[in-house]
Structure 1
């Protein structure tokens, strides 16, 4: 069985670190090959080149221009790349915010994803309180966060934690300071059952 696993959430929640921590354990637990598809790794240089030409700021990943013209094609291509791997029998772990797609429940829509019923889908929503996320963003000092930090009031309005309806099929993970057992529990939830 191929698996499609998403690690979603807002900036500064630790999605990438969590995914990288669990991926080797997930491969051992399932005995299956996985590819790691991180949006920033796959599209970071491309987006920098495009935004540099369009706005003069290659680090812009949050302006209205970026959100309107590059966000959705990046995410669509990310999912298409995962689907190509799944067709080859390689499970995929995607790391990206995908907040709109979570809110609209598109990640549960097999037709929208383009995957068959024999693909197991798990969606992990990684979250921390806003002040923790902001302090992590400041501490990592990534130039791609400059627009976000300079327009924090605008950015924070897009932040949310899925409510009980939106989170009913999500694997919610509080990544502020998880107990070591929380990682084991999440790993079991990802690979247990279909």
Structure 2
């Protein structure tokens, strides 16, 4: 059996990372793991049950400390299950809280018992102007805080470097593309 591949598609909300990730999953017949599809309903229910606005994730300490780590642990655990089966995997998630930890991927590989795996990170980038336009157009409740606190959001998430070791990083400028399929 050959070493499975793991492609982690990162970028800010609205950057187009889901479009890129879905394209890669189709192209490589890979398991497609989208953090929001896997956990958004649970996150919103947990926030509401705890008395918080279910759309506010960026400024909610309860979410950041207690729920967000579980979202990523679940995502990485399911990735490991697929990788152990020898399947290629594409993960679609921003990973913003973890990009500054150089050992994040190697630690995940150990914690979730990944087999030897080839890891490529595809960082989808757009300009601040493009991102604001896309967030307004999609009109999701969870984007309201981002738009209302734009400068704070952009400083924290907009141009964050990926410091992970043991991975290949590919930069993908998604500003130039409009309605056609991306080809990273």
Instruction: Report the TM range for the smaller structure's normalisation.
Output: 0.7 to 0.9
Quote the RMSD (CA, aligned, Å): 2.6
1:176 and 2:175 aligned: yes
SS in 2 for 1:123: strand
CA distance in 2, matches of 1:20, 1:147: 26
Counterparts of residues 88-103 of structure 1 (less than 5 Å): 88-103=85-100
Instruction: List, as ranges, runs of 4+ consecutive aligned residues in structure 1 with deviation greater than 4 Å.
Output: 162-168
What residue number does 1:134 align with?
A: 132
What residue number does 1:63 align with?
A: 59
Counterparts of residues 13-52 of structure 1 (less than 5 Å): 13-27=15-29, 34-52=30-48
SS in 1 for 2:99: helix
Whether contact under 8 Å (2:9, 2:90) holds in the other structure is yes
Whether contact under 8 Å (2:82, 2:89) holds in the other structure is yes
Counterpart pick for 1:9 among 3, 8, 11: 11
CA distance in 1, matches of 2:21, 2:162: 24
Residues 162/155 of structure 1: CA separation in 2 closer, same or farther (3 Å cut): closer
Residues 55/63 of structure 1: CA separation in 2 closer, same or farther (3 Å cut): farther
Deviation string, structure 1 residues 90-140 (Cα, Å, up to 9, x no partner): 22111000023233234542x4333233x1111111111112111100110
Residues 164/72 of structure 1: CA separation in 2 closer, same or farther (3 Å cut): closer
What is the number of residues matched between the two proteins?
176
Whether contact under 8 Å (1:5, 1:93) holds in the other structure is yes
Q: TM-score scaled by structure 2?
A: 0.83
Residues 84/130 of structure 1: CA separation in 2 closer, same or farther (3 Å cut): same
Q: TM-score scaled by structure 1?
A: 0.79
Residues 113/153 of structure 1: CA separation in 2 closer, same or farther (3 Å cut): same
What residue number does 2:102 align with?
A: 105
CA distance in 1, matches of 2:174, 2:54: 29
Whether contact under 8 Å (1:48, 1:60) holds in the other structure is no
| Comparing 4-13 and 58-67, the one that deviates more | 58-67
Residues 137/92 of structure 1: CA separation in 2 closer, same or farther (3 Å cut): same
Q: Which runs of 5+ in 1 are unaligned?
A: 28-33, 187-194
